Amino acid sequence: MEIRSLRYFLAVAREENMTRAAEQLHVSQSTLSKQIRALEEELGKKLFIRHSFRIELTEEGILLRKRAADLVEMADKISSEFLSIDEITGGEIYFGLAESYQIRHLARVIRSFQERYPDFHYHILSGGTEQVTEKLDKGILDFAVLVEEPDEDKYDYLELPGRDRWGLIFPADDPLAEKEQIRFEDLQGLPLFISEQSRDADLPRWCGPRVSQLTFSGYFQLAYNGSVFAREGLGYLLALDRIVDTSEDSGLVFRPLYPVLENPMYLIWQKYQVFTPIAERFLEEMRDYCDRQES
């Protein structure tokens, strides 16, 4: 099975149209059709169902799409790593990022790094812990940035400066806006939004087993989506400060939890990771930056 065939397959799966996929790939439609048929013959499964004006994936095609995407990403990363082995002035680094205001520290280092290494390029994947660590474990990512304590058996890490504070986000005209802080008793009986990961990992640090007394009306991996529902009065969003807009014109307010609940942020990478020169140089830069912030 060739990487080229998987690229062709992914293009057809994305476009759901052979003609558009061929145009995107700069190959003839007949060439593309032959490649797809050959791939189906090799796997012994039909990958697409043909309709009059579009094509759709079979169950086997859906399975292959996920596997093929990972393989193509890995192939691209391997190519870029070998191209940059002797190229200290540039190269590519792949990051997986959780949502946090503390991401600003990473962004600052990347900006400074780019100024001194003009041929340096970075790639960003945003998502939850499970999503980014899965790709880190597969070697698709070089680094991940998480807002939860990393597994020290699997990862080395660097704690970034600053901490994110938890609070409640809700409409500015809600009676709770009169409070300066939100206590556990204020949350009881309210329809709450949070991510499942934070419900299980963060809230128990704040209220212990009493978390079972709270009412969760929805789970949002992305805080912004939760804030949209909160703005419409559908519930109250538990999230980190400065993740969503709670400025005066936003219609929303943020009130911190009390007692204080905070999350540190970590840059993590696989234990015994062999870095490209540019990734190793970047990690040194990140360590220097963190040391300067602490001094």
Report how far apart, in Å, the C-alpha atoms of 273 and of each of 123, 131, 263 are: 18, 19, 26
Closest CA to 143 of 207, 89, 92, 190: 92
Query: What is the helix (H) or strand (E) element at residue 96, kind and residue range?
Result: strand 90-97
* Residue 89: band (very low, low, confident or very high) from pLDDT cuts 50, 70, 90: low
Dihedral of CA atoms 3, 4, 7, 8 in degrees, nearest 10, equals: -140
Cis previous bond, 259, omega within 30: yes
Lowest mean pLDDT among 39-53, 206-220, 226-240: 39-53
Encode pLDDT of 226-253 as tens digits: 999 999 999 999 999 999 999 999 999 9
Encode pLDDT of 246-281 as tens digits: 999 999 999 999 999 999 999 999 998 888 889 989
Q: Which residue has the higher pLDDT, 127 or 96?
A: 96
Q: What is the CA radius of gyration of the chain?
A: 23
Q: Rounded mean pLDDT of the chain? A: 90
The per-residue pLDDT for 152 is: 92
Rounded Cα distance, 229 and 58, in Å: 34
The per-residue pLDDT for 295 is: 58
With a pLDDT cut of 90, the percent of the chain lying above it is 57
Residues constituting the chain: 295
CB 255 within 8 A of CB 168: yes
pTM: 0.69
Is residue 133's pLDDT more than 90? yes
* Residue 107: band (very low, low, confident or very high) from pLDDT cuts 50, 70, 90: very high
Is residue 87's pLDDT more than 60? no
The per-residue pLDDT for 118 is: 86
Report how far apart, in Å, the C-alpha atoms of 229 and of each of 149, 174, 191, 234, 236 are: 29, 14, 11, 6, 8
Q: Please report, in angstroms and rounded to a whole number, the separation of the first and last CA atoms in the chain.
A: 53
Quickly list DSSP for 141-182: -SEEEESS---TTTEEEEEEEEEEEEEEEEETTSGGGG-SSB
* Residue 213: band (very low, low, confident or very high) from pLDDT cuts 50, 70, 90: very high
Rounded Cα distance, 126 and 100, in Å: 11
Q: Which residues contact 161 (CB under 8 A, 6 or more apart)?
A: 102, 105, 290, 293, 294
Encode pLDDT of 135-191 as tens digits: 999 999 999 999 988 999 999 999 999 999 999 999 999 999 999 999 999 999 999
* Residue 206: band (very low, low, confident or very high) from pLDDT cuts 50, 70, 90: very high
Domains and CATH numbers, the chain: 3-78 (1.10.10.10), 88-162+265-294 (3.40.190.10), 164-263 (3.40.190.10)
CB 278 within 8 A of CB 84: yes
The per-residue pLDDT for 259 is: 97
Alpha helices in the chain, H assignment, sequence order: 3-15, 18-25, 29-43, 59-84, 103-116, 129-137, 184-187, 196-201, 203-207, 223-231, 277-294
Amino acid at 116: R
Q: Which residues contact 283 (CB under 8 A, 6 or more apart)?
A: 143, 158, 269, 275
Backbone angles phi, psi at 95, to 5 degrees: -120, 145
Lowest mean pLDDT among 11-20, 121-130, 133-142, 219-228: 11-20
Report how far apart, in Å, the C-alpha atoms of 100 and of each of 109, 142, 164 are: 16, 19, 7
Q: Which residues contact 284 (CB under 8 A, 6 or more apart)?
A: none
For the segment 18-24, the average pLDDT, to the nearest whole number, is 85
